[in-house]
């Protein structure tokens, strides 16, 4: 589904990704861990197409398409979702309007009909109930006045609403209380399917207790330096990144 | 007392209006236009009056205005850069029959054409708006149904007792009403353009809502299908008697071409005790091309007199068009506990200039006013909010809340907030908030990562920014106005 080969990318003039390769197949869950500043969010932003992130070398394809050639919204329509480490506030635009506009924009790009108001609301009710977001919050401006944890739950809600093929979740577990962590994990597990894949960026084993990954990677200094199974995360939890070759 | 102020029973209000007449914010004039010379003199004024079969008093009124106009200095002010206007080089009544029409829509500025398409305007209507040769007749056929709808509206209004006519018709059918109120809120000598308007206004709208009547429909509905006579010098007069309510919407979201470069309208509103008038405007006159060529100059004088106790006037405006916009819809709050509101979105792009705001003149006890202004500047445009809040000595317990937010797009545009506050009663409470922000890359990327293209992302963020104002608009216009904001800003974001 996602094939990244020897990816080099700069933020401004500064090289951050330095030859990163990764293959994610449909049905798989990959966890990416790594020290602060290693380039995890940078990878997520490069994959989602953020301006100011320049790929200097290497390739990334999504379902065989050259991902790097697409605009951010085209990547979204192709089925890529980025759960932000720091979700953004958009005052005056309700969460519901935002999502409906986004969902319909994606559908239009894919040549699908727009979703009806009734179907949309039905979906909203199901997904928001799962994540414990009430209607009053969803009528507020996008993330406006949301607590840190509520913002993350809102990212998970958007994931459920937009139903992408590949979810890149950048520290969606950070800032969540114990119950919310369980709830969001359930959301991710519900999302898992043989047709979909998940790339979890996280610092903590506790998320991986709930969402069992197929692979765990360590990203350090702009490269994947080690790959293993779920036990790698446990080892990191115990030993830290000291022993990992950078 | 002069005839144009004799209807003001409240001497304070009359003094306030007189004082407003000495405008503080002006601009320069003296123009060049490429029209065949026509010019302005007393004969022009007589001609207009005769053409419209006006009563003698009306002609006198116009002539007086004309003579005053001759003595007024050409205004010079504001942040506007205005090329000189030559008033002798313009037409003041129906431009010659040989209007510069297009042979087909293919000759239309492709930008405008695209906008029409984005707004979903049917081809035949596009032709009318663009002034394509022979378009009118076809369009009349196409809107035949609407004409009969209009008649139904007219009957329904009549049953309610609401008078809704062109001002020329009203002058003939209700001369006393018109004579009593015309020029009572915006006196002839108010300012250079209002004075010019008084001398040469071609037509406009008259609304009278009698005591205790709630106008049974948004007058917008009617207006929109009859929008064809939006002229160069319009004159609107709306009177809501005790306990009456009316909501009126002028304008059109479609960018309209007009061979007249100068537009100088006058709008007067009068609200009696417990009456309420909502006046909404969507203005999208041709703003000129990307390089700042062409475009309408829009100099409007709009003023409301809240004469009765607890009367209320709300101005809501969405200004996206015109090369130059100069307007300050104002409220003279004379009645006790009367309420004035001003909700404004002004968008400028490319080389557009807008200098707009409001004046809230508090005279009565317990009067309150609210000002919410959202200025959005993109391209190389300049956008100024200019507002006056004045609390008179007898306005015990008056309150004003002002919020001015500016949004900058790109780094070549300008936003200015110029509040004037004058308080002559110490019990007044005045709050003023102002912010300036930019559309952040974070917001734009967030929206794009969810599937919106760059333009839609910006439009969505801008609509959020303007929400408090847009939600004041009648429902169906709010939706159009939202689309319009997006279109106006197209190409302005990287
Ligand atoms: N706009 C920028 N300009 C310069 N350097 C930047 C910019 N954005 C990020 N960086 C740098 O790029 C490096 C990688 O940042 P990134 O956000 O990808 O790290 P991360 O692995 O996600 O870290 P964390 O675990 O703290 O979230 C950091 O050193 C950061 O300071
Ligand atoms: Mg990060």
For B39-104, give the DSSP string: --SHHHHHHHHHHTT--HHHHHHHHHHHHHHHHSPPP--SS-----B-GGGS-SSS--SS---BSS
The answer to whether residue A246 sits within a structural domain is no
For the CA of A38, the closest atom of ligand 1 is 21
With a cut of 70, say whether residue B26 has pLDDT above it: no
Q: What angle do CA A58, A105, A68 make, to 5 degrees?
A: 5
A232 token code pair: 């790698």
Domains of chain A: total: 1
Is B493 in CB contact (< 8 Å) with chain A?
no
Domain of B396 in residue numbering reads as 3-488
Contacts of B463 in chain A (CB under 8 A): 92-93
Closest Cβ–Cβ partner in A75, A90, A162 for B464: A90
Among B203, B193, B196, B236, residue whose Cα is nearest residue B65: B196
Residue B346 CA to residue B23 CA, distance in Å, equals 22
pLDDT of residue B197: 93
Higher pLDDT, B112 or B420: B420
Q: Decide: B288 and B295 in contact? Cβ < 8 Å.
A: yes
Among B238, B255, B261, B252, residue whose Cα is nearest residue B186: B238
CA distance between the termini of chain A: 27
The answer to whether residue B448 sits within a structural domain is yes
Higher pLDDT, B200 or B79: B200
Higher pLDDT, B215 or B166: B215
For residue A29, how many other CB atoms are within 10 A of its CB?
Answer: 23
Residue B340 three-state SS:
strand
Say whether A98 and B450 touch across the interface (CB within 8 A): yes
Query: Considering Cα of B152, then B157, then B163, then B166, what sign does the dihedral take?
Result: negative
Q: What are φ and ψ of residue B419, in 5° steps? A: -90, 135
The answer to whether residue A245 sits within a structural domain is no
Q: Which range among A108-117, B21-30, B196-205 has the greatest average pLDDT? A: A108-117
Residue A7 CA to residue B351 CA, distance in Å, equals 43
With a cut of 60, say whether residue B21 has pLDDT above it: no
Domain of A62 in residue numbering reads as 2-239
Say whether B451 and A109 touch across the interface (CB within 8 A): yes
The answer to whether residue B493 sits within a structural domain is no
pLDDT tens-digit map of B169-179: 888 899 999 99
- Average pLDDT, rounded, for chain B: 79
Instruction: Give me the CATH number covering residue A21.
Output: 3.40.50.300
pLDDT of residue B82: 66
pTM value is 0.78
Is B106 in CB contact (< 8 Å) with chain A?
no
The answer to whether residue A244 sits within a structural domain is no
The answer to whether residue B494 sits within a structural domain is no
B469 token code pair: 């104002």
Q: What are φ and ψ of residue A112, in 5° steps? A: -100, 155
Pairing of strands B266-271, B297-306: parallel
With a cut of 80, say whether residue B492 has pLDDT above it: no
pLDDT of residue B143: 31
Residue B284 three-state SS:
coil
The answer to whether residue A106 sits within a structural domain is yes
Domains of chain B: total: 1
Residue A146 CA to residue B162 CA, distance in Å, equals 49
Q: Calculate the alpha carbon distances from B243 to A189, B200, B209, B219, B311 in Å.
A: 61, 34, 9, 18, 8
Q: Decide: B219 and B164 in contact? Cβ < 8 Å.
A: yes
Is B467 in CB contact (< 8 Å) with chain A?
yes
Q: Determine the average pLDDT of the residues in B30-41.
A: 43
Q: Characterize A92-102 residue by residue with b for buried, 16 or more Cβ atoms within 10 angstroms of its Cβ, and e for exposed.
A: bbbbbbbbbbb
B430 token code pair: 């005045």
- Average pLDDT, rounded, for chain A: 93
The answer to whether residue A208 sits within a structural domain is yes
Q: What are φ and ψ of residue B435, in 5° steps? A: -135, 150
Residue A78 CA to residue A69 CA, distance in Å, equals 12
pLDDT of residue B249: 83
pLDDT of residue B7: 44
Residues of A (91-150) whose Cβ lies below 8 Å from B: 91-93, 98-99, 101-103, 105-106, 109, 141-142
Residues of B (405-464) whose Cβ lies below 8 Å from A: 440-443, 445-454, 456-457, 460-461, 463-464
pLDDT of residue B99: 41
Q: Calculate the alpha carbon distances from A116 to A97, A104, A113 in Å.
A: 13, 10, 9
Q: Calculate the alpha carbon distances from B190 to B24, B25, B30, B136, B361 in Å.
A: 11, 12, 19, 37, 15
Atom 18 (ligand 1) nearest CA:
A39
Q: What are φ and ψ of residue B411, in 5° steps? A: -120, 15
Residue A134 CA to residue B83 CA, distance in Å, equals 56
The answer to whether residue A219 sits within a structural domain is yes
A18 token code pair: 């330095």
Angle between helices A117-131 and A148-162 (to 10 degrees): 140
Higher pLDDT, B28 or A133: A133
Residue pLDDT tens, chain A, 246 long: 999 999 999 998 999 999 999 999 999 999 999 999 999 999 999 999 999 999 999 999 999 999 999 999 999 999 999 999 999 999 999 999 999 999 999 999 999 999 999 999 999 999 999 888 889 999 999 999 999 999 999 999 999 999 999 999 999 998 889 988 999 999 999 999 999 999 999 999 999 999 999 999 999 999 999 999 999 988 888 888 876 754
pLDDT of residue B101: 55
CA distance between the termini of chain B: 59
Element (H, E) at B411: none
Closest Cβ–Cβ partner in B449, B460, B467 for A72: B449
For chain B, the helix, strand and coil percentages under 3-state DSSP, each to the nearest 5: 35, 30, 40
Contacts of B467 in chain A (CB under 8 A): 92-93
With a cut of 50, say whether residue B98 has pLDDT above it: no
Closest Cβ–Cβ partner in A77, A89, A93 for B451: A77
For residue B205, name the pLDDT band (cuts at 50, 70, 90). confident
The answer to whether residue B28 sits within a structural domain is yes
ipTM attached to this prediction: 0.96
B351 token code pair: 């080389």
Residue B147 CA to residue B465 CA, distance in Å, equals 37
pLDDT of residue A200: 96
Q: Decide: B264 and B85 in contact? Cβ < 8 Å.
A: no
The answer to whether residue A24 sits within a structural domain is yes
Angle between helices A178-191 and A117-131 (to 10 degrees): 130
For residue B31, name the pLDDT band (cuts at 50, 70, 90). very low
**Binding-site residues, ligand 1, Cβ < 6 A:** A 11-12, 14, 16, 34, 36-42, 85
As a whole number of angstroms, the longest Cα–Cα distance in chain B is 67
Cα(A85) to centroid(ligand 1), Å: 12
DSSP letter (8 states) at residue A89: P
Residues of A (158-187) whose Cβ lies below 8 Å from B: 158, 162
pLDDT of residue A158: 97
Atom 10 (ligand 1) nearest CA:
A11
DSSP letter (8 states) at residue B365: T
The answer to whether residue A66 sits within a structural domain is yes
For residue B152, how many other CB atoms are within 10 A of its CB?
Answer: 10
Q: Determine the average pLDDT of the residues in B45-61.
A: 87
B279 token code pair: 């006046």
Residue ranges of alpha helices (H) inside B110-191 are 110-119, 123-130, 135-142, 144-160, 167-173, 175-181
For residue B433, how many other CB atoms are within 10 A of its CB?
Answer: 10
């Amino acid at each position: 589904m996602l094939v990244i080969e020897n990816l080099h990318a700069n933020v401004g003039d500064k090289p951050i990704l330095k030859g990163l390769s990764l293959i994610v197949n449909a049905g798989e869950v990959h966890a990416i861990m790594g020290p602060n500043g290693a380039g995890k969010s940078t990878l997520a932003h490069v994959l989602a197409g953020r301006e100011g992130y320049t790929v200097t070398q290497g390739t990334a394809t999504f379902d065989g398409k050259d991902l790097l050639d697409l605009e951010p919204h085209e990547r979204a329509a192709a089925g890529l979702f980025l759960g932000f480490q720091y979700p953004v506030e958009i005052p005056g635009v309700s969460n519901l309007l935002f999502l409906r506009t986004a969902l319909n924009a994606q559908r239009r790009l894919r040549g699908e009909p727009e979703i009806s108001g009734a179907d949309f609301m039905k979906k909203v009710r199901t997904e928001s109930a799962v994540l414990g977001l009430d209607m009053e919050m969803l009528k507020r401006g996008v993330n406006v006045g949301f607590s840190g944890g509520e913002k993350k739950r809102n990212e998970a809600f958007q994931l459920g609403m937009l139903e992408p093929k590949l979810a890149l979740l950048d520290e969606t577990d950070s800032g969540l209380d114990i119950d919310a962590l369980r709830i969001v994990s359930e959301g991710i597990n519900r999302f898992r399917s043989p047709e979909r894949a998940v790339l979890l960026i996280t610092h903590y084993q506790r998320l991986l207790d709930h969402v069992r990954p197929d692979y765990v990677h360590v990203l350090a200094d702009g490269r994947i330096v080690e790959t293993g199974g779920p036990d790698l995360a446990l080892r990191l939890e115990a030993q830290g990144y000291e022993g990992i070759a950078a | 007392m002069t005839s144009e102020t004799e209807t003001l029973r409240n001497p304070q209000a009359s003094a306030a209006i007189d004082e407003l007449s000495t405008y503080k914010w002006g601009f320069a004039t003296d123009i060049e236009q490429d029209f065949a010379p026509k010019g302005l003199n007393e004969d022009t004024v007589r001609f207009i009056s005769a053409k419209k079969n006006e009563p003698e008093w009306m002609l006198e009124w116009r002539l007086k205005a004309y003579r005053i106009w001759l003595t007024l200095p050409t205004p010079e002010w504001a942040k506007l850069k205005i090329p000189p206007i030559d008033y002798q080089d313009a037409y003041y009544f129906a431009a010659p029959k040989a209007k510069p029409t297009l042979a087909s829509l293919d000759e239309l500025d492709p930008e405008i054409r695209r906008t029409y398409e984005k707004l979903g305007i049917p081809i035949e209507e596009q032709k009318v708006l663009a002034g394509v040769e022979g378009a009118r007749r076809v369009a009349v056929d196409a809107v035949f149904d609407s004409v009969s709808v209009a008649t139904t509206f007219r009957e329904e209004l009549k049953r309610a007792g609401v008078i809704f006519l062109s001002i020329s018709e009203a002058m003939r059918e209700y001369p006393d009403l018109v004579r009593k109120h015309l020029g009572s809120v915006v006196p002839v000598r108010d300012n250079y353009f209002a004075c010019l308007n008084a001398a040469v206004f071609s037509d406009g709208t008259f609304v009278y809502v009698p005591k205790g009547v709630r106008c049974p429909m948004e007058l917008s509905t009617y207006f929109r299908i009859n929008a064809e006579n939006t002229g160069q010098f319009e004159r609107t007069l709306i009177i809501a008697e005790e306990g009456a309510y009316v909501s009126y919407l002028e304008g059109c979201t479609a960018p309209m071409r007009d061979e007249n470069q100068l537009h100088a309208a006058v709008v007067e509103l009068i609200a009696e005790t417990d009456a309420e008038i909502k006046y909404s405007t969507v203005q999208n006159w041709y703003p000129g091309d990307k390089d700042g060529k062409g475009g309408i100059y829009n100099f409007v004088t709009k003023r409301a007199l809240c004469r009765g106790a607890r009367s209320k006037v709300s101005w809501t405006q969405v200004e996206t068009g015109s090369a130059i916009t100069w307007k300050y819809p104002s409220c003279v709050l004379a009645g006790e506990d009367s309420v004035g509101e001003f909700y404004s979105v002004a968008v400028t792009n490319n080389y557009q200039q807008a200098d707009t705001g409001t004046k809230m003149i508090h005279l009565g006890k317990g009067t309150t006013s609210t000002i919410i202004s959202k200025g959005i500047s993109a391209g190389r445009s300049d956008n100024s909010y200019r507002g006056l809040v004045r609390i008179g000595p007898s306005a015990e317990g008056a309150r004003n809340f002002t919020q001015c937010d500016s949004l900058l797009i790109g780094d070549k545009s300008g936003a200015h907030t110029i509040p004037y506050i004058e308080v002559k009663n110490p019990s007044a409470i005045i709050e003023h908030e102002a912010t300036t922000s930019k559309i952040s890359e974070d917001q734009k990327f967030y929206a794009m990562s969810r599937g919106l293209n760059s333009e839609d992302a910006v439009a969505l963020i801008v609509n959020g920014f303007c929400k408090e104002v847009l939600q004041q608009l009648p429902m169906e216009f709010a939706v159009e106005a939202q689309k319009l904001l997006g279109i106006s800003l197209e190409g302005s974001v990287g």
